[in-house]
Chains A and B, each alone.
Chain A
Amino acid sequence: NAGVMQNPRHLVRRRGQEARLRCSPVKGHSHVYWYRQLPEEGLKFMVYLQKENIIDESGMPKERFSAEFPKEGPSILRIQQVVRGDSAAYFCASSPFEGFQPQHFGDGTRLSIL
């Protein structure tokens, strides 16, 4: 049974480039959550998606950040025109249906901005 798979595990980008982070949920799970962890801090909720729908994006920065979870394929968190402050670990979690706990987390993508 594969858990939540995130790739790449490490991503290095220069300022101004785009970063694409991928998350494949646990098989059968149709709900995906993205969280960001800044160094030495707790995880902060960013966005909650179901297949083809954004349910809650209250934690997403208004600009440069977007997320999708298509009918087929992984969920994608996209950061355009990255800045140094985007350097963080980005974690994805999944659950089988709305309101289900616990959420299962992947091992994250560590994004470094040069």
Chain B
Amino acid sequence: QQQVKQSPQSLIVQKGGISIINCAYENTAFDYFPWYQQFPGKGPALLIAIRPDVSEKKEGRFTISFNKSAKQFSLHIMDSQPGDSATYFCAASWTDKLIFGTGTRLQVFP
């Protein structure tokens, strides 16, 4: 019940395309859903986050879609760029600790 399942494990997208990463959870007590971006040798950096009282949040090229009834949320990266190539983690929290998905390695080719 503490798990957050993330897919796909890896993703290859052409420059300018849309990257979509999906996550699912079981624990309905989760009330905070962030996405982190991690480059090799670096720590996770917060990209965008959402709370369950909204169904979508957009910041620049990044959008979170949240489906409370299905207990799923997804990250959409519009106009994907080579600089977006990184590993992306979804996470969920209801107390202070974050429960992370297993990560998606995104490669954007020019």
Residues of chain A touching chain B, judged by Cβ–Cβ distance below 8 Å, are: 4, 6, 31, 33, 35, 40-45, 48, 55-56, 58-59, 91, 93, 95, 98-99, 101-108
Contact = CB atoms under 8 A, between A and B. Distances in A.
For the side of the interface on B, what is the size category?
Answer: 20 to 34
Contact of B43 (A44, A55, A102, A108): A108
Given A41-B103, A42-B89, A43-B89, A98 B96 contact: yes
Nearest to A102: B46
Nearest to B32: A101
A91 B34 contact: no
A43 B100 contact: yes
- A-B pairs, 7 with minimum CB distance: A105-B43, A42-B100, A45-B97, A107-B43, A43-B100, A102-B46, A42-B102
26 contacts: A6-B43, A31-B96, A33-B96, A35-B98, A35-B100, A42-B100, A42-B101, A43-B44, A43-B89, A43-B100, A44-B100, A45-B97, A48-B96, A55-B96, A56-B96, A56-B97, A91-B43, A91-B44, A101-B93, A104-B46, A105-B43, A105-B45, A107-B41, A107-B43, A108-B42, A108-B43
Interface of B: 6, 32, 34, 36, 41-46, 49, 89, 93, 95-103
Contact of A33 (B36, B97, B101): B97
A42 B46 CA distance: 15
Contacts of B46: 102, 104
